[in-house]
C-alpha cells in the first residue's frame, strides 16, 4: 500500500479525525503535515541525545583511551505503527494522543562494551539538568521472563525550533554487545516464526540469556583485573 493510500484508508476508518466541512483531500493533507511535524520533532530529539552520547564517548576516549559505547542506533516509529499502537491501546487516533501516550516514538539503542558502562551512560543521561527522566526500567537487575536484559530509560529532551523551545520523549535502550546479540536473535526468531516458539524453546532461549549474562559478568571482571580496579 502506498503512503497516500494508507492515509486515505486511515481517514476513512477513523471518524474521530474527520473535521466536518473539509474535503478528503484537505483532511489527508492536514494529517500528512501533522505527521511530518511530529516526525521532525522526534527526529530532532533523537539528534539531541545522539550528539550528547557521542560527546561523552569521545571525552572518555580522550581521557581514558577507550570507548564505553560500542554502537548507537536509532529509529523513528512509522505513522503506520503509531496508528496501530494507538488502536491497540483503544485510544483515539490523533497527533495529540500519540504525543501524550506513546513514549517510544523516538528510540535509541546504545550498545556498550561492559555492564558498568551501561550504568555510567545511564547516569550521565540522568544528570543532565535539561533532560527529565520520565521512566526507567532495569531489566539487567530484573530480567524479563523471556530472559531479556537491557536498561531502559525514557527522557524528555529540549528541542530548539526556529521560533520556540519544545520537549519530546526519547526511549533509550542501553545494553552490552552480548545482551544485544541475544535480543536481536531472539526478536528475529520470535518475529519470523512465532508459532514455532514452544515452551521448551522459550526455556532454551532463557538458558542462553542466562549463560550470556554470566559471560558478561566474567568479561567485566577480566576488564577490572587488567585495569587494576576493585
Ligand atoms: P521496537 O520496535 O523494538 O521498539 P510499551 O510496550 O513500549 O508500551 P513497556 O511494556 O513498558 O511498554 O515496554 P518495555 O517492555 O519496557 O520495552 C519494550 C521494548 O523493549 C520492545 O520494543 C523491545 O525493543 C524490547 N523488549 C522488551 N522485551 C523484550 C524481549 O523479550 N525480547 C526482545 N528481543 N526485546 C524485548 P517493541 O515495542 O517490541 O518494539
For position 4, what pLDDT does the model report?
65
| Radius of gyration, alpha carbons of the chain | 21
Alpha helices in the chain (DSSP H): 3-13, 24-64, 79-88, 95-101, 115-127, 177-192, 199-226
For position 76, what pLDDT does the model report?
97
Residues with pLDDT less than 50, the chain = 16-18
For position 18, what pLDDT does the model report?
47
Q: Please, which residues bridge with residue 38 across strands?
A: none
Q: What is the distance between the alpha carbons of residues 152 and 7, in angstroms, rounded to a whole number? A: 32
Q: Contact 157/49 with Cβ under 8 angstroms?
A: yes
What is the Å distance from ligand 1's center to 148 Cα?
A: 9
Q: How many angstroms from the chain centroid is the CA of residue 116?
A: 20
Q: What is the distance between the alpha carbons of residues 230 and 224, in angstroms, rounded to a whole number? A: 7
Ligand 1, from 183, 202, 209: best to mutate by most atoms within 8 Å of Cβ? 183
For position 11, what pLDDT does the model report?
63
Spell out which residues line ligand 1, taking CB within 6 angstroms.
104, 107, 137, 144, 146, 148, 152, 183, 186-187
| Residues classed as catalytic | 171
For position 25, what pLDDT does the model report?
81
Q: Contact 136/150 with Cβ under 8 angstroms?
A: no
For position 219, what pLDDT does the model report?
97
- The C-alpha cell 555492564 sits at 115
For position 17, what pLDDT does the model report?
47
Q: Which atom of ligand 1 is nearest to the CA of 139?
A: 16
Q: Which atom of ligand 1 is nearest to the CA of 144?
A: 31
Nearest one of 49, 186, 158 to 106, comparing CA atoms: 49
Q: Which atom of ligand 1 is nearest to the CA of 184?
A: 34
- The C-alpha cell 530548539 sits at 160
For position 186, what pLDDT does the model report?
95
Amino acid at each position: 500500500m502506498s503512503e497516500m493510500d494508507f492515509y486515505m484508508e486511515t481517514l476513512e476508518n477513523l471518524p474521530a479525525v474527520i473535521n466536518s466541512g473539509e474535503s478528503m483531500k484537505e483532511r489527508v493533507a492536514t494529517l500528512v503535515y501533522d505527521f511530518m511535524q511530529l516526525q521532525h520533532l522526534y527526529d530532532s530529539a533523537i539528534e539531541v541525545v545522539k550528539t550528547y552520547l557521542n560527546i561523552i564517548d569521545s571525552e572518555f576516549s580522550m581521557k581514558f583511551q577507550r570507548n564505553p559505547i560500542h554502537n548507537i542506533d536509532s529509529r523513528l516509529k512509522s505513522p503506520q505503527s503509531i496508528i496501530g499502537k494507538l488502536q491497540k491501546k483503544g485510544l483515539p487516533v490523533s497527533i495529540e494522543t500519540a504525543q501524550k501516550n506513546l513514549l517510544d516514538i523516538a528510540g535509541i539503542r546504545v550498545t556498550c562494551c561492559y555492564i558498568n558502562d551501561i550504568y555510567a551512560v545511564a547516569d550521565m543521561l540522568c544528570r543532565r539538568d535539561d533532560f527529565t527522566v520520565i521512566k526507567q526500567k532495569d531489566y539487567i537487575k530484573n530480567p524479563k521472563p523471556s530472559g531479556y536484559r537491557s536498561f531502559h530509560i525514557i527522557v524528555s529532551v529540549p528541542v530548539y525550533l526556529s521560533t520556540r523551545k519544545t520537549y519530546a520523549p526519547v526511549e533509550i535502550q542501553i545494553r552490552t554487545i552480548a545482551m544485544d546479540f541475544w535480543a536481536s536473535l531472539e526478536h528475529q526468531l520470535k518475529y519470523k516464526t512465532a508459532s514455532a516458539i514452544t515452551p521448551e524453546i522459550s526455556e532454551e532461549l532463557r538458558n542462553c540469556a542466562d549463560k550470556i549474562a554470566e559471560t558478561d559478568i566474567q568479561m567485566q571482571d577480566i576488564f577490572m583485573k587488567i585495569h587494576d580496579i576493585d
